Structure 1
């Protein structure tokens, strides 16, 4: 399922719910419907930037690497797909992080599920 974040600050940001949920849980927000008000944006930005920095400090876990390799053959001979690449949390969070920065600067709310 997809979540589309909307704000007057930037273009919309769409993420898979499973990836957005980590961010929304960090901000104590519901994944189905919610708002990050302009007054909350500064705190949300600080929390998300700290989580991104923390995720960059720790490389992809062995468990994740095992899952990637398990789905692409023992010898990397999966001819039907591109080589596996893990997408970091910071890369997934970047569009929403930029939206938060612009919303904070402009004093705009961010909405989803409405």
Structure 2
């Protein structure tokens, strides 16, 4: 399932629900539908930046949250760990578009909505 985040300050951001879930959990928001108001955006940026920093400090935990780079890719038995690490898309990379949207919403005084 896909979630599309919308704001007047930024282009739409669409993510797989499983990837957006961690971000929304950090922000204490429902994944089905919700809003981050302009007043909440500054705090949301801080929370998400903290989670990104933690994911970079503890990459083994980050890998446990999202250990696949493509939903239909199953690694071959002989595929090297180096190749798997190269294909891993971490939390910081997945969160970046929404973080940029949050920054734009904060600076522009706009809200972000999804599922409506």
CA deviations over 1:23-79 (Å, ceiling 9, x no partner)? 111111100000000000011000000000110111235x75xx66xx3222129xx
CA–CA distance in structure 1, aligned partners of residues 93 and 49 of structure 2: 12
Q: Secondary structure at the match of 2:15?
A: strand
- TM-score, with structure 2 as normaliser: 0.82
Q: State how many pairs are aligned.
A: 104
Name stretches of at least 5 consecutive residues in structure 1 with no aligned partner.
78-82
Structure with larger Rg: 1
Partner of 1:112: 114
Structure 1 runs of 4+ off > 2 angstroms? none
Q: Secondary structure at the match of 1:108?
A: coil
More helix by share: 2
Q: Secondary structure at the match of 1:29?
A: coil
Residues 28-39 of structure 1 aligned to structure 2 (within 5 Å):
28-39=28-39
